[in-house]
Structure 1
Amino acid sequence: MTEILNETETEVDGAEFAALADFVLAQMHVSSGAELNILFIDPGPMAELHKRWLDLEGPTDVMSFPMDELRPGTEDDPAEGVLGDICICPQVAQAQAQEAGHSAAEEMLMLATHGMLHLLGYDHAEPEEREEMFSLQRRLLLTFLATR
């Protein structure tokens, strides 16, 4: 079950993000009953989270807060539990989207996918981890977008 909360003035298509979550979690064999929250927050609250949890200044694009530390399941044994929270800052996403040459909506969908992978234990600290995570992120997002 995915809940989408928009605490910003930015227009966000909650149904699109819920559909993305359903798609990604199904692909990763996570139970449809697993709980996930995707929150859209302004730069001020994001900067506070960034400082509190990572001791870094300023707002960032996305932060993930795992709860039950779920890992991808299998088709026969999907992962169940509370996945956690993803916080996305639309204003940071908009700036990044302009730099990358695509829409803010696409950037935020990518960030949501990125956040879900973090909640499932993926990381990008090491080069091989980075390659695995970003390749999976790209495949999941492109496959989702192709179905829309």
Structure 2
Amino acid sequence: MSIEIANESGTTVDTDAVLAVARYALDEMGVNSLAELSILLVDVDYMSELNHRWMGGDGPTDVLAFPMDEGSVDHGPGEANGGEPALLGDIVLCPEVAARQAAVAGHSAADELHLLTVHGVLHLLGYDHAEPEEEREMFALQARLLDGWRASRVH
């Protein structure tokens, strides 16, 4: 699994942990080991620009996921793609927004970034939370993946 990460946010982030939680989520979801993912950490101004350009939103958001063409995603051994790497897409995180949300939620900024990373991975894999049933499914899966990853770090 190839995961590239770039921290252009100006904020100190434990990128190894962000990579680890992304890798854990992809492994648990049965994503092909040849898959490629890009994670970019950005500042508030750039996230605001991306949010406006791609989502029509005002101001910064916490995470954006830009999946590649769904036809190119290889979800595991059940789908053959000739052994070529599947480019899953890009996850863009904003540590400053994550830190604000973490303070409100009562946990660390690192925990919030881990949650947002898993959230982004699930979006790249086609999960959404537009409808109540979709939201329940996605958020339950997100919680299960985070709990599993945290438990795996303890041992």
The TM-score, its normalising length taken from structure 2, stands at: 0.89
Pairwise CA RMSD: 1.6
Which among 50, 72, 75 is matched to residue 73 of structure 1? 75
Determine if contact 2:74/2:86 at 8 Å carries over to the other structure: no
Structure 1 residue 78, shift from structure 2 partner: 6.4
Cα distance, 1:53–1:142 mapped onto 2, change above 3 Å: same
Structure 1 residue 81, shift from structure 2 partner: 0.6
Given residue 141 of structure 1, which amino acid in structure 2 is its aligned partner? L
SS in 2 for 1:77: coil
* 61-70 or 107-116, larger mean C-alpha shift: 61-70
The unaligned stretches of length 5 or more in structure 1 are none
Q: Percent identity?
A: 53
1:32 aligns with 2:37: no
Partner of 1:54: 55
The unaligned stretches of length 5 or more in structure 2 are none
Structure 1 residue 71, shift from structure 2 partner: 5.8
Structure 1 residue 73, shift from structure 2 partner: 2.8
1:20 aligns with 2:21: yes
Which among 100, 105, 108 is matched to residue 103 of structure 1? 108
Given residue 7 of structure 2, which amino acid in structure 1 is its aligned partner? N
Cα distance, 1:140–1:72 mapped onto 2, change above 3 Å: farther
SS in 2 for 1:57: coil
CA distance in 2: counterparts of 1:100 and 1:91, whole angstroms: 14
Partner of 2:45: 44
SS in 1 for 2:127: coil
CA distance in 1: counterparts of 2:6 and 2:54, whole angstroms: 21
Determine if contact 1:123/1:133 at 8 Å carries over to the other structure: yes
Partner of 1:112: 117
The TM-score, its normalising length taken from structure 1, stands at: 0.93
Cα distance, 1:81–1:71 mapped onto 2, change above 3 Å: closer
